[in-house]
Chain A
Amino acid sequence: MKFDTPATTNPIDALKVVGQPIDRIDGPLKTTGTAPYAYEHHGEAENVAYGHVIGAGIAKGRIAGIDTAAAGRAPGVLAIVTAATAGPLGKGKRNTATLLGGPEIQHYHQAVALVVAETFEQARAAAELVRIDYLAEPGAFDLRAAKGSATKPKESGQTGPVDTSVGDFAGAFARAPVSLDTTYTTPDQSHMMMEPHASLALWEGDRLTLWTSSQMIDWWTDDLAATLDIPKKNVRVVSPFIGGGFGGKLFLRADALLAALGARAAGRPVKVALHRPLVPNNTTHRPATVQRIRIGATREGDITAIAHESWSGDLPDGGPETAVNQTRLLYAGANRMTAMRLAVLDLPEGNSMRAPGEAPGMMALEIAMDEMAEKLRIDPVEFRIRNDTLVDPEKPGRPFSSRPFVECLRLGADRFGWSRRDPQPARRREGRWLVGLGMAAAFRNNLLMTSAARVRLDAEGGVTVETDMTDIGTGSYTIIAQTAAEMMGLPVGRVTVRLGDSRFPVSAGSGGQFGANNATAGVYAACVKLREEIARRLGFNSADAAFVDGEVRSGNRAIPLGAAAAEGEIVAEDAIEYGDLDETYQQSTFGAHFVEAAVDSATGEARVRRMLAVCAAGRILNPKSARSQVIGAMTMGVGAALMEHLAVDTRRGFFVNHDLAGYEVPVHADIPHQEVVFLDETDPISSPMKAKGVGELGLCGVGAAVANAIYNATGVRVRDYPITLDTYLDRLPEVA
């Protein structure tokens, strides 16, 4: 189905099932521990051996020699895979570094060997006997030191234009009566999903089946086949449940490749899980940024000039963190520029983490807006409202498909009690606590991706949906069931959803908050086709047929749905494919974050006390699971603001705090009750579902709202994340 004109009324608008806050259909499996994750497919393969991954002990250089003799003699050892024994390997087009290093080492903890043994304990113990000698080479590991050498990165679909310029930024900025020129930094961050990357590989002749933990089934199938240099049709990737991804499982990783190589070498199925301490350096991470923001405005608070520049680093042939892109779209201003520069760093591969670009970009931009509002003596909410724009500021002829940004700001301010905020910082005290309010805009683009699905109707009137879409905790199973139920006139209980298998039609997958809208639109397209076939078989005119309460109705005829399949299952498959509505219109999601923070006046301990997000993201397909996406993102935003930080050893070139004890993420005690409000909105330009993404919107801006609340509480402005005690303790007001 081609979607190239805005949606009109369609069966989804009935909202009998879609839009309802139903419980997740996979909830009973997840809460009883019976949902099978990658390492848990005991019934799928017999005689499974265990692989243990060895990561490189240097950041850059070469392996001089690997001595596997002792390990090979260790009890239970079946095979040892290294680059020297694996045979020639290709590289997936979505990987920057190779997944099996050697002899060249590109980053610390790059996988260099897999030890396969009868048991987990034997594989782990034998791995300790592998002796590796390295020839280390010097590398670049410090972004601030390498910033001067940064160059203009290659433009790609993911980066957008590397440099943008409209009007005369320099002149307008110089003339602006009120201006701001500040630099912010964000650190390297780790996804730290709860389920480490894991895979089980089974070879049957030249055909490989991989049970794994993947956000993007087709990308993995493609890149695994390319890396092994075998036909894609010989690879099946299965990932029904994923224990979190956040971008860390977008791309094929070492566990998958090594399980396949280990299984080939051992002649048995092999399963591999990355042990937790390997995850941050072996896999990808969100790269650190240095961001310079300049804003010029009239005394009345109209932005006349705005510039956002960002520096980040990555391995050779890697890409930049696109932290400037929201600044091209969020606020008005006739004179504007953005630029991204990329330094070569020999740290582990930088790549997407939840809301890549906008998450760190908004952390900087929305502090800058707070600082500018203060300079102008304008309320931060009003300053943002004053600089709203209904068109793409770079192309005024190009409107937003919908942009209820001001409504989000006003509703949020009202609900949160923003009027009680003292614009003068450090004036509200409750006992020993300094208390402040902060806010920030939320903004994230809505991305359109082709997405296909297959639907089956059986003789009992039940519908089965098959698509390679993944559910990484987002609620895909449930909203897909809701979509099919709405389209076919069934209760959710009559719909079976099967996801995460490369045998199913290729979906959008899970990432970039594009999953929900595109994957359900693909199911919508397949259901339209199924409805047409059902109507044809029952002798209805498909335009007149209504699918209601398990029946197909037209005029005074009503036939049970299953009757159409009495002589055999009916199967329909289609994809949603988009025209240029995302070029004609800018499609984005909007929101506002409000935070109350308290800082202990003596110890400096910071606590987040209240949080509110108001979101405008088109139709909300399931308010219960969508709300969870937003509170989860808000939680990750608190982590980004206050604690998350991969500490770089700039001599040895690795992330030091590479486990869940050293890399701190929010725990229960850090997170208050969170409130989320969705504007009642549909966006007919986004898809037939009239929905947009929301899973990343909830993260964009949270960090800055926390930072601004801490500033309002204490009067101390911190521009380097995370805002840990040491960044502000010596500047706190004197304790009375």
Chain B
Amino acid sequence: MHRLSNPGLSRRDVLAAGAATLAGSAASRDALAQEGVNLDAAGTLEAPSQPFHDTVRLTVNGVIRELRLDTRTTLLDALREHLHLTGTKKGCDHGQCGACTVLVDGVRINACLTLALMHEGDDITTIEGLGTPENLHPMQAAFVRHDGYQCGYCTPGQICSAVAVLKEVDAGIPSHVTHDIAGAPALSDEELRERMSGNICRCGAYSNIIDAITEVAGTRA
């Protein structure tokens, strides 16, 4: 149970903190009441009678989807629980592991660290949008050939990241290990390892994953 002591608390803060106990003034109590949030006599935040919902339209794997969602729903949970696209994995829900990596307008992000409603009009690509078992994306096929996975749980995130990494290198975006940040980054093992380090594989398939990415990068060049 959280205790909040900031009297200048905004509605957004209250909602971000979830249900909370706060020492609210009468004024803030009225303001909150207008939003459907009620405080009892002791100042304890009573949860709203109903969650806040809103509508978002986004494109997922080429299909326009309109969802009415609890405003707290992450993009990750919108994909997994509402669209049943469970290829995007929840490993930590805190942006620590990379298992939920998806592409938003071609850029990789952790889907657990962003709310679905922030993606109005965005173009989302998940692992299911890259290829299917019968028609694998070249990166998926390379992961199979090089055994770049074991349990398979981090794998969709690794593959989405890998696809994005090659685009980032193509676009000349430097990384922490790029020796000349003004020049074109190399497709070296060192660059790939650095750029892939946000995707943890506890089974330890790293050596094979780098081989798979290198093969795809080589055939593209």
- Contact between chains at B206 and A671 (CB < 8 Å): yes
- Contact between chains at A75 and B44 (CB < 8 Å): no
What residues of A have a CB within 8 angstroms of the CB of B152 in the complex? 26, 29-31, 35, 241, 243, 473
What residues of B have a CB within 8 angstroms of the CB of A35 in the complex? 152
Nearest A residue (CB) for B84: A42
What residues of B have a CB within 8 angstroms of the CB of A124 in the complex? 18
Nearest A residue (CB) for B96: A660
Q: How far is the CB of B145 from chain A (nearest CB, A)?
A: 6
State which residues 85-136 of B face A: CB under 8 Å: 85-94, 96-97, 99, 126-128, 130-134, 136
On whether A634 and B204 interact (CB within 8 A), knowing A660-B91, A668-B192, the answer reads yes
**Is A119 positioned at the interface, with any CB of B under 8 Å from its CB?**
yes
- Contact between chains at A276 and B93 (CB < 8 Å): yes
A28 contacts which of B128, B136, B151, B159 (Cβ < 8 Å)? B136
State which residues 625-678 of A face B: CB under 8 Å: 625, 627-629, 631-636, 659-661, 665-669, 671-674
What residues of B have a CB within 8 angstroms of the CB of A273 in the complex? 90
State which residues 187-205 of B face A: CB under 8 Å: 189, 192-194, 196-205
- Contact between chains at A193 and B151 (CB < 8 Å): yes
**Is B49 positioned at the interface, with any CB of A under 8 Å from its CB?**
yes
- Contact between chains at A636 and B94 (CB < 8 Å): no
Nearest A residue (CB) for B2: A128
In whole angstroms, how far apart are the Cα atoms of A631 and B94 in the complex? 27
- Contact between chains at B70 and A673 (CB < 8 Å): no
What residues of A have a CB within 8 angstroms of the CB of B81 in the complex? 119-120
In whole angstroms, how far apart are the Cα atoms of A241 and B156 in the complex? 14
What residues of A have a CB within 8 angstroms of the CB of B80 in the complex? 39-40
- Contact between chains at B203 and A33 (CB < 8 Å): no
Nearest A residue (CB) for B81: A120
On whether A668 and B210 interact (CB within 8 A), knowing A33-B88, A129-B1, A276-B93, the answer reads yes
- Contact between chains at A244 and B153 (CB < 8 Å): yes
Q: How far is the CB of B80 from chain A (nearest CB, A)?
A: 7
In whole angstroms, how far apart are the Cα atoms of A142 and B208 in the complex? 40
- Contact between chains at B206 and A628 (CB < 8 Å): no
- Contact between chains at A194 and B154 (CB < 8 Å): yes
**Is A32 positioned at the interface, with any CB of B under 8 Å from its CB?**
yes
- Contact between chains at A32 and B87 (CB < 8 Å): yes
Size band of the interface chain A makes with B: 35 or more
What residues of A have a CB within 8 angstroms of the CB of B57 in the complex? none
**Is B150 positioned at the interface, with any CB of A under 8 Å from its CB?**
yes
Nearest A residue (CB) for B126: A33
**Is B50 positioned at the interface, with any CB of A under 8 Å from its CB?**
yes
On whether A194 and B210 interact (CB within 8 A), knowing A28-B136, A70-B46, the answer reads no
- Contact between chains at B77 and A668 (CB < 8 Å): no
What residues of B have a CB within 8 angstroms of the CB of A120 in the complex? 77, 81
**Is B207 positioned at the interface, with any CB of A under 8 Å from its CB?**
yes
In whole angstroms, how far apart are the Cα atoms of A628 and B148 in the complex? 8
Q: How far is the CB of B135 from chain A (nearest CB, A)?
A: 9
> Interface centre among B50, B85, B92, B127, by most A CB within 10 Å?
B92
Nearest B residue (CB) for A478: B147
What residues of A have a CB within 8 angstroms of the CB of B194 in the complex? 668-669
> Interface centre among A29, A194, A661, A671, by most B CB within 10 Å?
A194
- Contact between chains at A661 and B96 (CB < 8 Å): yes
On whether A472 and B94 interact (CB within 8 A), knowing A120-B77, A669-B194, the answer reads no
- Contact between chains at B151 and A667 (CB < 8 Å): no
In whole angstroms, how far apart are the Cα atoms of A121 and B69 in the complex? 10
Nearest B residue (CB) for A472: B151
- Contact between chains at B144 and A33 (CB < 8 Å): no
In whole angstroms, how far apart are the Cα atoms of A665 and B91 in the complex? 14
**Is A23 positioned at the interface, with any CB of B under 8 Å from its CB?**
yes
What residues of B have a CB within 8 angstroms of the CB of A76 in the complex? 51
On whether A128 and B1 interact (CB within 8 A), knowing A34-B128, A194-B200, the answer reads yes
Interface code B25-50, partner A: CB below 8 Å = 1, 0 otherwise?
00000000000000000001011111
On whether A27 and B51 interact (CB within 8 A), knowing A194-B89, A242-B151, the answer reads no
On whether A32 and B192 interact (CB within 8 A), knowing A75-B48, A628-B208, the answer reads no
In whole angstroms, how far apart are the Cα atoms of A125 and B15 in the complex? 10
- Contact between chains at A276 and B92 (CB < 8 Å): yes
- Contact between chains at B86 and A36 (CB < 8 Å): yes
Nearest A residue (CB) for B70: A121
- Contact between chains at A661 and B200 (CB < 8 Å): no
- Contact between chains at B2 and A276 (CB < 8 Å): no
What residues of B have a CB within 8 angstroms of the CB of A629 in the complex? 150
- Contact between chains at B51 and A628 (CB < 8 Å): no
Nearest B residue (CB) for A129: B19
On whether A668 and B96 interact (CB within 8 A), knowing A194-B153, A276-B91, A660-B91, the answer reads no
Nearest B residue (CB) for A676: B207
What residues of A have a CB within 8 angstroms of the CB of B18 in the complex? 124-125, 128
Q: How far is the CB of A36 from chain B (nearest CB, A)?
A: 7
Nearest B residue (CB) for A662: B96
What residues of B have a CB within 8 angstroms of the CB of A667 in the complex? 196-200, 206
Interface code A130-142, partner B: CB below 8 Å = 1, 0 otherwise?
1100000000000
- Contact between chains at B86 and A660 (CB < 8 Å): no
- Contact between chains at B89 and A632 (CB < 8 Å): no
- Contact between chains at B147 and A673 (CB < 8 Å): no
In whole angstroms, how far apart are the Cα atoms of A660 and B94 in the complex? 9
Q: How far is the CB of A118 from chain B (nearest CB, A)?
A: 9
Q: How far is the CB of B180 from chain A (nearest CB, A)?
A: 19
- Contact between chains at B91 and A196 (CB < 8 Å): yes
- Contact between chains at B136 and A659 (CB < 8 Å): no
- Contact between chains at A668 and B1 (CB < 8 Å): no
In whole angstroms, how far apart are the Cα atoms of A265 and B192 in the complex? 49
In whole angstroms, how far apart are the Cα atoms of A2 and B216 in the complex? 48
**Is B59 positioned at the interface, with any CB of A under 8 Å from its CB?**
no
Q: How far is the CB of B89 from chain A (nearest CB, A)?
A: 7
Q: How far is the CB of B45 from chain A (nearest CB, A)?
A: 9
In whole angstroms, how far apart are the Cα atoms of A472 and B127 in the complex? 21
18 contacts between A and B (CB under 8 A): A27-B144, A28-B136, A31-B155, A32-B156, A39-B86, A42-B86, A126-B19, A130-B1, A194-B89, A194-B203, A243-B91, A276-B93, A625-B147, A628-B208, A632-B205, A633-B204, A635-B206, A671-B206
Chain A residues proximal to chain B, CB less than 8 Å: 23-24, 26-37, 39-40, 42, 70, 73-76, 119-122, 124-126, 128-131, 191-196, 241-246, 273, 275-277, 472-475, 624-625, 627-629, 631-636, 659-661, 665-669, 671-674
Given contacts A243-B89, A673-B210, 20 further A-B contacts (CB under 8 A): A27-B144, A27-B147, A31-B140, A32-B131, A39-B80, A75-B49, A76-B51, A119-B70, A120-B81, A122-B51, A122-B70, A129-B19, A273-B90, A276-B96, A277-B94, A472-B151, A625-B147, A628-B150, A665-B200, A667-B198
Chain B residues proximal to chain A, CB less than 8 Å: 1-2, 18-20, 44, 46-51, 70, 72-73, 77, 80-81, 84-94, 96-97, 99, 126-128, 130-134, 136, 140-141, 143-145, 147, 149-156, 159, 189, 192-194, 196-210
Top 8 nearest A-B pairs by Cβ distance?
A33-B87, A635-B204, A243-B153, A473-B150, A473-B151, A30-B152, A632-B204, A33-B127
